[in-house]
C-alpha cells in the first residue's frame, strides 16, 4: 500500500536516523530477521502449481515467489538464450497505486539484471538453452505481494527468488522424431548463485539498511545494490537527491555487509 | 446477559422462540453466527458483537487523522471510520485567532492550512444518520501534528476517557485518539487555560534519550495491540516499566 507521510513525520524520522535510533529500536545498520520457506510441487503438495516456491516475510511484509518452467521458442533478439520473466502481483487488499506500479517496473529491471549478473543464471548454458534457436527453457518468476507494510519488498523478493532458484532442478530435454521430450526423472540443479539485492537509504548524511516502508518514503535517495561474496553486480539509485561518489562507496560497503550477514544466516 | 465467543458458522443457540439480531443467521435448527465475536442475549433477542470493527465516531471524540484530499471549502480526513470525516474551512482557526467569515481568499489558501498527508488532531463535531461526520479544530488543543510519530492501534482497544493527551514520565508526549490512532512526540506544550495542547513544539530537536523514549513508547503500543490489551496511559506506563 502507498505510504503517505507528512513533512513533519519525515523530518522526525530523519532526525531519528541521524541519531542512530530507529522507531523499532534498531540502529542504522541493524537488519531484521528474515523468514524463508521453500516449497516444492510434489505428490504430497499437488496444490503448489509452481515448480519451486518460496514464502518469505520480514516484519509485516510478506510475499510468495513461485518459479515455473516451460519449454518455449526463444526470443528473436536472443535466439541462443533462455527466457527469464519476472511478474508482480498484489493481493486484493494491497492494490498498488500508479506510482507503485512504476516502482514495480523498476524492481523488475533490477531483479532481472541481478539474477542474470555474473555468478547468477547463465541463460546461454546448455542446461537452460538445450536447443539454441529452436527450444529453450522459459523461467517465470512470479512474485505475489501479500503485504508491503514494512517495506523491503525488493530485498525480500531477491532473497526469496535466490532461495527458490537454489532448490530448482531443470529436467533433461531430448529430441525424438522432431518432438521435444522432457525427462522429469533426470534433473540437474542450476549452477552459480545470483547476487542478492540490498536496498540502502540515504537521509541527510547518513545511510540506513533494511528500511521500513515509512523510512523508504522518507529517504532522500534510495540505492539498490546487487552483490555476492564481495563482488558488486549492479548499482541503481532512485529518488530526488544527488549522491556523491564517496557516499556511494559508503552505501555499497554497507550493502555488502548486509548481504554477507544474510548469506551466512 | 450470557456471553460466549463464536466464529462464523458456529451454532449459537436453539432456534426455538428466539429472535435473531445483528450477526446471526439461521439453519434449520439453530441460530448461527455470521461473524467472529461475542454472543449476547437480551430476553429473546440473540445478537453478536464483533471484536474488530471500523471506528464509529461519536460527538466529542478526540481523533487523530490524516488529510486525504482537499475539496471545495473542506478537507477529507481519514480517521479509520467507514467514511472519511469532513473538516470544513469554517471549523479551523484562522492564523492569529481572527474571527471573521471565511471568504474566497481563504478557500484558495486552504493548502496553507493543511495539505494531503498532514496529520492533525480534531474533535468530532457532528455525526449524521448516514454515517458521515464532521470534525473541528476550533480550539488551541487541536490542529496540525508536525514533529512526531504516527502509531496505530485498534479502535476497540481504546477506551473513552476524560483525558487523551498525556505527557509520560520519560518526557514523551502522547495523544491516544479514540479512533485507534496515536501520536507520539516530544513533551506537549500547555494551551492557554485548556491543559495540554496537541500541538507539537515546532521544530523541536529532541535529545537522544527522548527519541529513544518515543521508540519505546511506539513499541509498547505495538505490543499491547498484538496482545489485544487496552491501550491506556496506565497500560503503556506499565509496559514501559517492564521493558
Phi, psi angles (nearest 5°) of residue A264: -65, -40
Q: Which residues in B lie closer than 8 A to residue A7 (C-beta atoms)?
A: 117, 146
| Inter-chain touch A19–B150, beta carbons under 8 Å | no
Q: Which of residues 76-135 of A touch B (CB under 8 A)?
A: none
Show residues of chain B in contact with A23, CB under 8 Å.
149, 214-215, 218
Per-residue pLDDT at B2 exceeds 60: no
Q: Where do the domains of chain A lie, and which CATH numbers do they carry?
A: 7-262 (3.30.230.70)
pLDDT exceeds cutoff 60 at B91:
yes
Three-state SS annotation for chain B: CCCEEECCCCEEEECCCCEECCCEEECCCEEEECCCEEEEEECCEEEEEECCCCCCCCCCCEEEEEEEEEECCEEEEECCCCCCEEEEHHHCCCHHHCCCCCCHHHHHCHHHCCCCCCEEEEEEEEECCCCCEEEECCCCCCEEECCEEEEECCHHHCCCCCCCEEECCCCCEEEECCCCEEEEECCCCEECCCEECCCCCCCCCCCHHHHHHHHHHHHHHHHHHHCCCCCCHHHHHHHHHHC
| pLDDT on residue A48 | 60
Percent of the residues in chain B that have a pLDDT greater than 90, as a whole number: 47
Given CB atoms, is B199 within the 8 Å cutoff of chain A?
no
Interface test with A, best of B76, B152, B211, B220 (most A CBs within 10 A): B211
Q: Within a 13 Å sphere around the CA of B11, how many CA atoms are in the beta-carbon half? A: 7
User: How crowded is residue A14: how many other Cβ atoms within 10 Å of its Cβ?
Assistant: 17
First to last CA, chain B: 38
Q: Where are the beta strands (DSSP E) in chain A?
A: 34-40, 52-58, 61-72, 83-90, 136-147, 169-176, 179-189, 196-203, 206-209, 221-228, 231-239
B38-62 pLDDT, tens digit each = 888 888 888 888 877 889 999 999 9
Q: Tell me the HSE value of B201 on the side-chain side, using a 13 A CA sphere.
A: 12
* Nearest by Cα to B231 from B185, B164, B172, B169: B164
Q: Say how many C-beta atoms besides its own lie within 10 A of residue B47's C-beta.
A: 19
The arithmetic mean of pLDDT across residues B187-213, rounded, is 66
* Lowest model confidence (mean pLDDT) among A207-211, B171-175, B196-200: B196-200
Taking the Cβ of residue A13 and every Cβ of chain B, the question of whether any pair is shorter than 8 Å is answered with: yes
Rounded to whole angstroms, how far apart are CA atoms A252 and A254?
A: 5
Is B48 in the A-facing interface, judged by CB distances under 8 Å? no
Q: Using CA atoms, how far apart are residues A80 and A202, in angstroms rounded to an integer?
A: 41
Given a cut of 50, whether residue B1 has pLDDT beyond it is: no
User: Are A23 and B205 within 8 A, CB to CB?
Assistant: no
Name the packing angle between helices B233-242 and B208-226 (round to 10°). 110
- CA-to-CA distance for A10 and B148, rounded, in angstroms? 9
Per-residue pLDDT reduced to its tens digit, B142-158: 999 988 999 999 998 99
For A96-137, what is each residue's pLDDT tens digit? Answer: 777 778 888 899 999 999 999 888 889 999 999 999 999 999
Q: If pLDDT is split at 50, 70 and 90, which confidence band does B105 have?
A: confident
Question: In this model, does residue B112 exceed pLDDT 80?
Answer: yes
For residue B156, the Cα-to-chain-centroid distance in whole angstroms is: 9
Mean pLDDT of B196-215: 72
Residue of A nearest to B146 (CA): A8
Binary contact (B147, A24; C-beta < 8 A): no
A231 by DSSP, 3-state: which?
Answer: strand
pLDDT at position B199 is 54
Specify the higher pLDDT residue, B197 or B28: B28
- DSSP class of residue A131 equals B
Of B119, B214, B216, the CB nearest to A9: B119
pLDDT recorded at residue B188: 67
Q: Is the pLDDT of residue B101 over 80?
A: no
Low-confidence ranges of chain A (pLDDT < 50): 1
The domains of chain B, with CATH numbers, are 4-50 (2.40.50.100), 62-144 (2.40.50.140), 157-242 (no CATH)
Q: Looking at the predicted structure, is the pLDDT value of residue B193 above 70?
A: no
Contact yes or no for B144 and A11 at CB 8 A: no
Those residues whose C-beta lies under 8 Å from the C-beta of residue B86, and which sit 6 or more positions away, are: B74, B75, B76, B77, B132, B133, B134, B135
- Reading across the β-sheet that carries B19-20, which strands appear in turn? B4-6, B37-42, B45-50, B19-20
| Chain A residues whose beta carbon lies within 8 Å of the beta carbon of residue B149 | 9, 12-13, 23
Amino acid at each position: 500500500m502507498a505510504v503517505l507521510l507528512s513533512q513533519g513525520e519525515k523530518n522526525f524520522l530523519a532526525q531519528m536516523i541521524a541519531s542512530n535510533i530507529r522507531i523499532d529500536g534498531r540502529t542504522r545498520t541493524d537488519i531484521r530477521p528474515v523468514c524463508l520457506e521453500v516449497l516444492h510441487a510434489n505428490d504430497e503438495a499437488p496444490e503448489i502449481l509452481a515448480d519451486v516456491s518460496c514464502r518469505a516475510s520480514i516484519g509485516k511484509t510478506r510475499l510468495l515467489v513461485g518459479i515455473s518452467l516451460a519449454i518455449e521458442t526463444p526470443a528473436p533478439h536472443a535466439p541462443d538464450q533462455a527466457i527469464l520473466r519476472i511478474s508482480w502481483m498484489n493481493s486484493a487488499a494491497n492494490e498498488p497505486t500508479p506510482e507503485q506500479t512504476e516502482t514495480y517496473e523498476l524492481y523488475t529491471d533490477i531483479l532481472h539484471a541481478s539474477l542474470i549478473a555474473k555468478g547468477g543464471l547463465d541463460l546461454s548454458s546448455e542446461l537452460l538453452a538445450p536447443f539454441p534457436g529452436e527450444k529453450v527453457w522459459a523461467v517465470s518468476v512470479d512474485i505475489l505481494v501479500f503485504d508491503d507494510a514494512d517495506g523491503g519488498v525488493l530485498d525480500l523478493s531477491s532473497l526469496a527468488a535466490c532461495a527458490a532458484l537454489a532448490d530448482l532442478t531443470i529436467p533433461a530435454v531430448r529430441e525424438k522424431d522432431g518432438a521435444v521430450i522432457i525427462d522429469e526423472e533426470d534433473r540437474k540443479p542450476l549452477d552459480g548463485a545470483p547476487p542478492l539485492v540490498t536496498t540502502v537509504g540515504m537521509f541527510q548524511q547518513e545511510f540506513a539498511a533494511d528500511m521500513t516502508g515509512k523510512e523508504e518514503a522518507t529517504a532522500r535517495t534510495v540505492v539498490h545494490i546487487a552483490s555476492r561474496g564481495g563482488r558488486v553486480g549492479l548499482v541503481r539509485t532512485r529518488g530526488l537527491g544527488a549522491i556523491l561518489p564517496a557516499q556511494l562507496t559508503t552505501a555499497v560497503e554497507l550493502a555488502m555487509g548486509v548481504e554477507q550477514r544474510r548469506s551466512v544466516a | 446477559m450470557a456471553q460466549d465467543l463464536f466464529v462464523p458458522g458456529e451454532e449459537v443457540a436453539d432456534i426455538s422462540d428466539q429472535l435473531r439480531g445483528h450477526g446471526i443467521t439461521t439453519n434449520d435448527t439453530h441460530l448461527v453466527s455470521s461473524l467472529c465475536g461475542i454472543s449476547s442475549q437480551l430476553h429473546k433477542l440473540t445478537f453478536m458483537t464483533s471484536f474488530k470493527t471500523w471506528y464509529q465516531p461519536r460527538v466529542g471524540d478526540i481523533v487523530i487523522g490524516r488529510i486525504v484530499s482537499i475539496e471545495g471549502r473542506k478537507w477529507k480526513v481519514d480517521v479509520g471510520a467507514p467514511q472519511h470525516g469532513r473538516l470544513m474551512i469554517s471549523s479551523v482557526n484562522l492564523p492569529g485567532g481572527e474571527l471573521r467569515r471565511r471568504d474566497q481568499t481563504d478557500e484558495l489558501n486552504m493548502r496553507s492550512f493543511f495539505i494531503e498527508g498532514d496529520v492533525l488532531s480534531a474533535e468530532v463535531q457532528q455525526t449524521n444518520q448516514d454515517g458521515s461526520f464532521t470534525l473541528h479544530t476550533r480550539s488551541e488543543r487541536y490542529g496540525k501534528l508536525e514533529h512526531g510519530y504516527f502509531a496505530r492501534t485498534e479502535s476497540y482497544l481504546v477506551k473513552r476517557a476524560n483525558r487523551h493527551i498525556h505527557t509520560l514520565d520519560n518526557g514523551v508526549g502522547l495523544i491516544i485518539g479514540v479512533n485507534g490512532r496515536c501520536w507520539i512526540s516530544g513533551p506537549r506544550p500547555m494551551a492557554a487555560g485548556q491543559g495540554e495542547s496537541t500541538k507539537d513544539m515546532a521544530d523541536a530537536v529532541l535529545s537522544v534519550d527522548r527519541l529513544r523514549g518515543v521508540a519505546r513508547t511506539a513499541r509498547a503500543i505495538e505490543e499491547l495491540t498484538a496482545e489485544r490489551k487496552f491501550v491506556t496511559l496506565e497500560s503503556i506506563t506499565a509496559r514501559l516499566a517492564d521493558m
